[in-house]
Amino acid sequence: MGTPEERGSRSTRDIAVTGYDGAALHTRVLSLGCSSVLSMRATQDDFRRAVRGAVRGYGLVEAALLRGVLAGREAPSSQITVPERDILRGLADGLSNSEVASQLKCSVGTVKNYLRSVFEKLEVSDRTQAVVKAFRMGIID
């Protein structure tokens, strides 16, 4: 029998099946070499096409998942609103939520709501990650 290389066949192709709808995960899975990404809602026909495609060297990404991956490729500055950008600048200056709210003449609750939106858009979980990613993406300077 031997290894796939000894038999002259191509290397294995992975098919990822996920219940998570985040575009960042799907992009990462594809960048790691998976030939196909399917959701847990995929039909039997989708699975068959993915396996056949993998054998032939093709990949399959469901349309809904692909839309999410492609949407994640929008220019970051177009996703972040002006108030969100102002809040990111305040965070970069080391201001607290209260200080940012005072500076922007809004409530602390409003700042927190904007931060939740920023965290989701940048796919981060805390203030430090948000500022670092915003700098790297050119959202703030």
pLDDT in tens, 11-51: 667 888 887 766 677 777 777 778 788 888 888 988 888 88
Task: Give the chain's largest Cα–Cα span.
Answer: 72
CATH topology assigned to domain 76-136 = Arc Repressor Mutant, subunit A (1.10.10)
Residue intervals in the chain for CATH 1.10.10.10: 76-136
Is the separation of the CB atoms in 65 and 17 below 8 Å?
A: no
- Pair 18, 29: CB distance under 8 Å: yes
Mean pLDDT of 92-121: 95
More confident residue, 11 or 79: 79
Name the residue with higher pLDDT: 78 or 95. Answer: 95
